[in-house]
Structure 1
Amino acid sequence: MDWLGLHFFTELPADGQVLLNCSHNPVLVILAYLVACAGSFATLDMAERVRHVDLPAARKRWCWVGALCLAGGIWAMHFIGMLALQLPIETHYDLPTTLLSLLFAAVASWLAMNTLSQPKLPLWRYLLASVWIGLGICTMHYVGMAALRSQATAYYQPDLFGLSIAIAISASLVALLLSRYLSDGSGMLHQLLKYSASLLLGGGIVAMHFTGMWALKLVMPAAGTPSMPVDDNPLQLGLTIAVIALLIIGSSISAALADKKLQHKEQDLLRVNTLLSQLDQARVALQQVAHYDALTNLINRRGFNQLFAEKLIEKTVQGGMLAVMFLDIDHFKRINDSLGHDAGDELLKVLAHHIKGSTRSHEDVVARFGGDEFCILISLREREEARLMAHRIMNKMKEPIELAGRRMVMTTSIGISVFPDDGTTSEELLKHADLALYQSKESGRNSLHFFNANLKNTACLELQLEEELRNALRSEAGLTLYYQPIYDLNQHKVSKLEALVRWQHPLHGLLAPDRFISIAEANGLIAELDNWVLRKACQDLAALSRHGFAELSIAVNCSALNLAREALPGEIADALQSAGVAPQRLELEVTENALMGNIETTVNLLRQIRSLGVSLSLDDFGTGYSSLAYLKRLPLNTLKIDRSFIQDMHQSTQDKEIVQAIIVMAHTLHLNVVTEGVENVQQYEFLAKHGCDFIQGYLLGQAVPVQELSAAIAEIEQRLRTAAGLSPSTAAGDTGGSGSQDPVPDTPGRHAGASTVRPIH
């Protein structure tokens, strides 16, 4: 087989002369190996670069660069290897044929890079590609060998020729597989593996070349005379080609490295831009969270304060009025308690929509401050605009709402303050609107009030009284007890006293309970005040016993807030023990409304108190919401009929019948009956006639301090015995009064002790 003057399967001529004294320049052989390794490294590096480039155009560009590096490396190795061949005859190379070999190297290299640039391929695709690449490299080699011109004829041993093809195909397959394996690595180990793979592939390429050279047999014609070789310095030419090839390969690798760094910087910039975008989104989200209410999507307190400050600056500079409206949903807690917090949240969304829909969308600011509290900021030309908007909101709120299968109507209380009349700072205006809201609640809810200076004065006074009451409790100075007698209609004597707390204020004089009890309840002082009254009453009862009133008992009022405290029975027992008073001489008074707050807990607590031996009295009976079903469960001893049934009894037959019915019912339940508010003899006679057990009121006298009790009791017993037609007798016990003073009138309609449960509204 002859191709380009090469004989692959032709036997050597019998008359020819085989050149046996051929050798290779070791320097050029090593140089060829280094060029092959450099080309292999460039191929692996370019293949890795191609896979890590995102843009198709850049991927194609680096694919061509890699193909040129591989082609140049293989061809330069081949040419340097040919220059390393030292023959005893004159040789030279045909330029067109040499360039043709370079073209085959380029085609094989492009095929290799094109295969490496594809996504992961099945093994058979790599096998097929390695066959074509190996054949291309072999073609490049043998075309390059055909460029050799000399007197000798080139013959090739078939077995070594086939082995060179197998080596080329195997080296190509190994290169493809190694490149795929090394494509996704990084770090020092990855680089070491790449260097090792380059040395291995370079060795494979050199092995293919020199296997092909080993297969070469140069035969001189029998009659020919060998021409002497010309010293054209192949070492210098080989070094020149190697330097040029290495410069091209090195430049390509440097360009790839620079592009890789540039791409990393671009990726870093993209990551930075992504992070900045995410930060912007997070900032917007935080802004939303920081300034908007998640439930209703209204602005929250923080956002409202910011807008409020801006509006104040604007109105201060340009002039104009602002109104701040505080809204509180009436009895909203009952929704959460009865239907649950999820239903409460749904209701808040609806109410927020109602409020927002009642305002001017572009001019007014609507905020939710938390819970069921909303705030509106509106620009005004005159104060009446705020009133009209408040009425519009209140009317909108009264529209029926379907919630949890129920149809309900909600109302709201509103407080309004106006800039600049009611303040010039946001803190002042918000505080004053809150005071006006409090007034709306105090006046029965479902109403609106504007701020006025009296509210501020009242609030300041309340704060001052709170501080002074706290100090009075701490120092036990100023607080005292007054006692109102309770007359036993059966035994015709005073058998009980009701303890009523008073506060001798240094500026305001003697204050009745209705002036400071609500302050104590609102500020967490009621438990301490109740405990002080309880201990003081037990101490006074012990002192009365030592002065001859050993059969008297004392009734002490208990706050509704105290009925929720598990420590109450222990405090009662401790007060009795400290004073040395029998439990049977103490009576605890509670109101109907206090009992109905949490009936199960209250009943258990009252049973514990009752087990101490202390009597229990239901105060203000008939004004609350207790039913007979609840009444029979309570461990009571006494019912106290409220004064409201007694005041107009002489004019109202109905009131008389109610009082009679209560007395009969109480006796049926084995309870004693005390009637409050008895002020005249006609009431006294009616109650005595119909079986009432005890009476209490101005007919007996007003509440007096403990020092005046002896004289007061004696006078009451003498007067009522005379009125009943009985012989007067001296009241039991020595009158231990310490002089007389004007009695302190008890507040009509409120016979409350240290812890009344009726709010002062």
Structure 2
Amino acid sequence: MEWLGLQFVAELPESGQVILNCTHNPLLVLVAYLVACAASFATLDMAERVGHAEDPGSRRLWRWIGATCLAGGIWAMHFISMLAFQTPIDIQYDLAITLFSLVIALLASWLAMHTLSEPQPSLLQYFKTAIVIGLGIAGMHYVGMAAMQSAATAYYEPTLFGLSILIAIGASFAALWVAGNLREGSGLHNQMLKYVATLILGAGIISMHFTGMAALHLVLPEGNIPTLRAETSHLQLGLTVAFITLLILGSAISAALADKKLQNKEQDLRRVNMLLSQLDQARMSLQQAANYDALTNLINRRGFNQLFAEKLSQKSTEGGMLAVMFLDIDHFKRINDSLGHDAGDELLKVIAQHIKGSVRGHEDVVARFGGDEFCILIGLRDREEARNLAQRIMLKMKEPIELAGRRMVMTTSIGISLFPEDGTTCEELLKHADLALYQSKGAGRNGVHFFDSNLKNRASLELQLEEELRHALREENGLMLYYQPIFELKTGKVTKLEALIRWQHPLHGLLTPDRFIAIAENNGLIAELDNWVLRKACEDLGELSRHGCDDLKIAWNCSPLNLAREELANEIERALRSAGVAPERLELEVTENALMGNIANTLVLLRQIRALGVSLSIDDFGTGYSSLAYLKRLPLNTLKVDRSFILDIPKATADMEIVQAIIVMAHTLHLQVVTEGVESLEQYEFLERSGCDFIQGYLLSRPVPLHELRPVLEEINQRKHAHPVNPLTLARGTFSPVSMDLSPKSPAPHAGASVVRPIR
């Protein structure tokens, strides 16, 4: 049977001579196998380059290079294998047909590379392409076989012929599948798999060729004398073709390797550039986070200080003025406490926009320092510009703000310092603006104050006094108690003493409480100071008892801050036990405003103290809430009428009526009444007629230290009994310890309850 010029037989013809002694040169066969392996490796490498190439032009280039390597390798393997074929007859090859077989190989290889260039080819697509490629390779082989020209006729055994085509298809499928799976991998393991796949694919390709050669039978016509084979240099030609082919394949593989390294370097460079870009973004983000407030998007303290230093340097060189403005939102804590921190954050955003909208664009710097504290830096020609800006901000702040379903109006306190008038450094100007801010808050808030040098002197003095007060408490040196007698009208005797603290300062002399109590309250020293007064008063009360004053009681003032401490009851009990003094001889004085700070907790604490046996007294009654509702709830013993109601008696009729009403009300509630600030005979007589229980004031005595107290008490008690209707004599007494007190006149009582009282 003949098909496409090929003779297919089940059995050889009966006539003719079968050439049986056909052999192959083993060296050329080995060389052909090496060429097939090299072609397979090059194909796998080109497929990997096609898969990794990003540019479409690069993919097309490597696809054609891969197709050329595969076609050239397979064709060279076929050509070298044919050169290895040795027969006893002379065989020539038709050049045109041989070259046509190369074209067939090239087309089949291009189809293979085209399939491998697909992103994700399916298994079915691999199989379909393998059939076409296998037929192409088989076609290349058998067209090349058809190029043989000799006296013999070529016959092919159909079974081996078909098997060779199947081997070609199988080898093609294996090549496609292996290349598709290896092109995405990397590393040593992937490289080893590529080498193993190369050997297997090379074996498959050369197996197809020699299976086809096994199907070949050369038959000479009967009576034809074989033409002896001419001596040819097939070995030299085969080795030359192999060398050229391997050189081309090696160059292609080297180019692929160089391109891979170059692409890796490009990828590394892109990764580096990407990392640098990410680092730039991260740096910018860190700079944003470091220099800007995340909530309001204003610059923070750190960013403000940098800009401040730059502008300060510029103004120092070029001349001009700068203003630093500190802003604090009045009573902002109430918003957080009542509406929550989320509402507070929203309010801060709105306020930041109000402030930002009040300044002059980019010329002025607005910063948030934290919490509800803002700072503005502006350049200006005169101080009135700063005042006008502050007033614009305060006016803007008065616009109603919708927050959590409520309309509210916020106010702000502002402190201003000027460069170069108030300082020449950032730290100095910020500190001075802060001092001016505290002056605004101390003056009632919702105001503007410029810094002046007196603020700095006062702040320096307060800082110095704070340090020295800490030392005085730690060393128990310089602090002392003065006592002012409290006269009981019914018995005509001094039955109580009020303990008043003094500080014998080594530089400033004897300081009254109004000079250092606020410092103690603002710097966390008030609890320690209160406790010292309590212990000292109990010790002095024990000392008085040992000298015959067993009936005296001591009234002790408690700070509002200390009244909020749960430990107060235990501290009082320890002080009494340590001094061996009965609790009934101690009286705790608190102000109305201190009681109303947290009435529920205060009521529990006062009941604990009252349960010890300690008496309780309302100090400065009439200056605070003066509510009957809490008077009937509190476990009180005494009301102490503030001296402001006594000062103008008997001239002020209204004050006299108020005092009489307080006395009647207190007696109705079964409370005793102490009136302080009594300085004249007329006041004494009025209080006596009105039924007051106790009086206290300069009419009796100024406060005196403990070592001067007993003669004063004896003088007061003796003169009262000697002149029962003329207490004026008490005021005209010439007892020397009284005249030793250096305080010229009783100052106004301090606001809020504290451990001490001003000199009366």
Q: Tell me, in whole angstroms, the C-alpha distance in 2 between the residues paired with 1:125 and 1:758.
A: 102
Q: Which amino acid in structure 1 is aligned with residue 19 of structure 2?
A: L
Q: Tell me, in whole angstroms, the C-alpha distance in 1 between the residues paired with 2:563 and 2:83.
A: 112
Q: Which residue of 2 aligns with 1:29?
A: 29
Task: Give the match's secondary structure for 2:560.
Answer: coil
Q: Which residue of 1 aligns with 2:740?
A: 742
Q: Tell me, in whole angstroms, the C-alpha distance in 1 between the residues paired with 2:736 and 2:579.
A: 22
Q: Residues 87-98 of structure 1: matches in 2 within 5 Å?
A: 87-98=87-98
Q: Which residue of 2 aligns with 1:638?
A: 638
Task: Give the match's secondary structure for 2:393.
Answer: helix
Q: Tell me, in whole angstroms, the C-alpha distance in 2 between the residues paired with 1:506 and 1:754.
A: 27
Q: Tell me, in whole angstroms, the C-alpha distance in 2 between the residues paired with 1:570 and 1:442.
A: 35
Q: Percent identity?
A: 71
Q: Tell me, in whole angstroms, the C-alpha distance in 2 between the residues paired with 1:584 and 1:708.
A: 24
Relative to 1, partners in 2 of residues 1:587 and 1:327: Cα closer, same or farther, differing over 3 Å? same
Paired residues of 2:417 and 2:430 also in contact (CA < 8 A):
yes
Q: Tell me, in whole angstroms, the C-alpha distance in 2 between the residues paired with 1:625 and 1:331.
A: 21
Q: Tell me, in whole angstroms, the C-alpha distance in 1 between the residues paired with 2:219 and 2:748.
A: 142
Q: Tell me, in whole angstroms, the C-alpha distance in 2 between the residues paired with 1:226 and 1:8.
A: 23
Q: Shift of residue 573 of structure 1?
A: 1.8
Q: Which residue of 2 aligns with 1:549?
A: 549
Q: Tell me, in whole angstroms, the C-alpha distance in 2 between the residues paired with 1:112 and 1:378.
A: 75
Q: Which residue of 2 aligns with 1:382?
A: 382
Q: Which residue of 1 aligns with 2:112?
A: 112
Paired residues of 1:22 and 1:85 also in contact (CA < 8 A):
yes
Paired residues of 1:413 and 1:437 also in contact (CA < 8 A):
yes
Q: Residues 252-651 of structure 1: matches in 2 within 5 Å?
A: 252-625=252-625, 627-651=627-651
Q: Shift of residue 219 of structure 1?
A: 0.7
Q: Which amino acid in structure 2 is aligned with residue 601 of structure 1?
A: N
Task: Give the match's secondary structure for 2:590.
Answer: strand
1:583-602 deviation per Cα after TM superposition (whole angstroms, max 9, x unaligned) = 11111112222222223332
Q: Shift of residue 8 of structure 1?
A: 2.9
Q: Tell me, in whole angstroms, the C-alpha distance in 1 between the residues paired with 2:400 and 2:323.
A: 28
Q: Which amino acid in structure 2 is aligned with residue 61 of structure 1?
A: L
Q: Which residue of 2 aligns with 1:705?
A: 705
Relative to 1, partners in 2 of residues 1:729 and 1:682: Cα closer, same or farther, differing over 3 Å? closer
Relative to 1, partners in 2 of residues 1:129 and 1:85: Cα closer, same or farther, differing over 3 Å? same
Paired residues of 1:324 and 1:376 also in contact (CA < 8 A):
yes
Relative to 1, partners in 2 of residues 1:244 and 1:629: Cα closer, same or farther, differing over 3 Å? farther
Which 10-residue stretch deviates more, 115-124 or 132-141?
Answer: 115-124
Relative to 1, partners in 2 of residues 1:528 and 1:346: Cα closer, same or farther, differing over 3 Å? same
Q: Shift of residue 741 of structure 1?
A: 5.1
1:479-509 deviation per Cα after TM superposition (whole angstroms, max 9, x unaligned) = 1111111122332221111110011112221
Which 10-residue stretch deviates more, 152-161 or 706-715?
Answer: 706-715
Which 10-residue stretch deviates more, 1-10 or 532-541?
Answer: 1-10
Q: Tell me, in whole angstroms, the C-alpha distance in 2 between the residues paired with 1:751 and 1:255.
A: 95
Paired residues of 2:160 and 2:214 also in contact (CA < 8 A):
yes
Q: Shift of residue 120 of structure 1?
A: 2.1
Task: Give the match's secondary structure for 2:480.
Answer: strand
Q: Shift of residue 758 of structure 1?
A: 10
Q: Tell me, in whole angstroms, the C-alpha distance in 2 between the residues paired with 1:665 and 1:647.
A: 21
Q: Which amino acid in structure 2 is aligned with residue 334 of structure 1?
A: R
Q: Which amino acid in structure 1 is aligned with residue 441 of structure 2?
A: K
Task: Give the match's secondary structure for 1:155.
Answer: strand
Which 10-residue stretch deviates more, 21-30 or 322-331?
Answer: 322-331
Paired residues of 2:594 and 2:752 also in contact (CA < 8 A):
no
Q: Shift of residue 658 of structure 1?
A: 3.3
Q: Normalising to structure 1: TM-score of the pair?
A: 0.94
Relative to 1, partners in 2 of residues 1:453 and 1:44: Cα closer, same or farther, differing over 3 Å? same
Q: Shift of residue 670 of structure 1?
A: 3.2
Matched, 1:691 2:691: yes
Which 10-residue stretch deviates more, 325-334 or 689-698?
Answer: 689-698
Q: Shift of residue 723 of structure 1?
A: 7.1
Q: Shift of residue 729 of structure 1?
A: 14
Relative to 1, partners in 2 of residues 1:9 and 1:738: Cα closer, same or farther, differing over 3 Å? farther
Relative to 1, partners in 2 of residues 1:47 and 1:757: Cα closer, same or farther, differing over 3 Å? farther
Paired residues of 1:4 and 1:146 also in contact (CA < 8 A):
no
Task: Give the match's secondary structure for 1:362.
Answer: helix
Q: Which residue of 1 aligns with 2:167?
A: 167
1:310-368 deviation per Cα after TM superposition (whole angstroms, max 9, x unaligned) = 11111111111111111122222222222222222222222222222221113211111
Q: Which amino acid in structure 1 is aligned with residue 613 of structure 2?
A: G
Question: How many residues are paired up?
Answer: 753
Task: Give the match's secondary structure for 1:327.
Answer: strand
Paired residues of 2:293 and 2:300 also in contact (CA < 8 A):
yes
Q: Tell me, in whole angstroms, the C-alpha distance in 2 between the residues paired with 1:439 and 1:694.
A: 40
Paired residues of 1:517 and 1:754 also in contact (CA < 8 A):
no
Q: Tell me, in whole angstroms, the C-alpha distance in 2 between the residues paired with 1:3 and 1:193.
A: 41
Relative to 1, partners in 2 of residues 1:4 and 1:98: Cα closer, same or farther, differing over 3 Å? farther
Paired residues of 2:556 and 2:755 also in contact (CA < 8 A):
no
Relative to 1, partners in 2 of residues 1:194 and 1:709: Cα closer, same or farther, differing over 3 Å? same
Instruction: Tell me how large the CA RMSD over aligned residues is.
Output: 2.4
Q: Which amino acid in structure 2 is aligned with residue 206 of structure 1?
A: I
Which 10-residue stretch deviates more, 54-63 or 547-556?
Answer: 54-63
Paired residues of 1:530 and 1:754 also in contact (CA < 8 A):
no
Paired residues of 2:322 and 2:377 also in contact (CA < 8 A):
yes
Task: Give the match's secondary structure for 2:307.
Answer: helix
Q: Which amino acid in structure 2 is aligned with residue 749 of structure 1?
A: A
Q: Shift of residue 681 of structure 1?
A: 3.2
Relative to 1, partners in 2 of residues 1:727 and 1:112: Cα closer, same or farther, differing over 3 Å? closer
Task: Give the match's secondary structure for 1:550.
Answer: coil
Task: Give the match's secondary structure for 1:71.
Answer: helix
Q: Tell me, in whole angstroms, the C-alpha distance in 1 between the residues paired with 2:752 and 2:385.
A: 46
Q: Shift of residue 113 of structure 1?
A: 1.1
Structure 1: which 5+ runs fail to align? 731-736
Q: Tell me, in whole angstroms, the C-alpha distance in 2 between the residues paired with 1:159 and 1:543.
A: 133
Relative to 1, partners in 2 of residues 1:668 and 1:252: Cα closer, same or farther, differing over 3 Å? farther
Q: Tell me, in whole angstroms, the C-alpha distance in 1 between the residues paired with 2:192 and 2:658.
A: 106
Q: Tell me, in whole angstroms, the C-alpha distance in 2 between the residues paired with 1:754 and 1:575.
A: 20
Paired residues of 2:500 and 2:757 also in contact (CA < 8 A):
no
Q: Tell me, in whole angstroms, the C-alpha distance in 2 between the residues paired with 1:453 and 1:150.
A: 123
Q: Tell me, in whole angstroms, the C-alpha distance in 1 between the residues paired with 2:752 and 2:449.
A: 32
Which 10-residue stretch deviates more, 78-87 or 613-622?
Answer: 613-622
Which 10-residue stretch deviates more, 682-691 or 636-645?
Answer: 682-691
Q: Shift of residue 112 of structure 1?
A: 0.9
Q: Shift of residue 98 of structure 1?
A: 0.7
Relative to 1, partners in 2 of residues 1:308 and 1:726: Cα closer, same or farther, differing over 3 Å? closer
Q: Shift of residue 616 of structure 1?
A: 1.8
Relative to 1, partners in 2 of residues 1:544 and 1:240: Cα closer, same or farther, differing over 3 Å? same
Q: Normalising to structure 2: TM-score of the pair?
A: 0.94
Relative to 1, partners in 2 of residues 1:753 and 1:18: Cα closer, same or farther, differing over 3 Å? closer
Task: Give the match's secondary structure for 2:670.
Answer: coil
Q: Shift of residue 262 of structure 1?
A: 1.1
Q: Shift of residue 727 of structure 1?
A: 11
1:519-538 deviation per Cα after TM superposition (whole angstroms, max 9, x unaligned) = 11122221221111111111
Q: Which amino acid in structure 1 is aligned with residue 380 of structure 2?
A: L
Which 10-residue stretch deviates more, 197-206 or 565-574?
Answer: 565-574
Q: Tell me, in whole angstroms, the C-alpha distance in 1 between the residues paired with 2:325 and 2:383.
A: 12
Paired residues of 1:325 and 1:375 also in contact (CA < 8 A):
yes
Paired residues of 1:721 and 1:727 also in contact (CA < 8 A):
no
Q: Shift of residue 263 of structure 1?
A: 1.1
Task: Give the match's secondary structure for 1:561.
Answer: helix
Q: Shift of residue 757 of structure 1?
A: 9.1
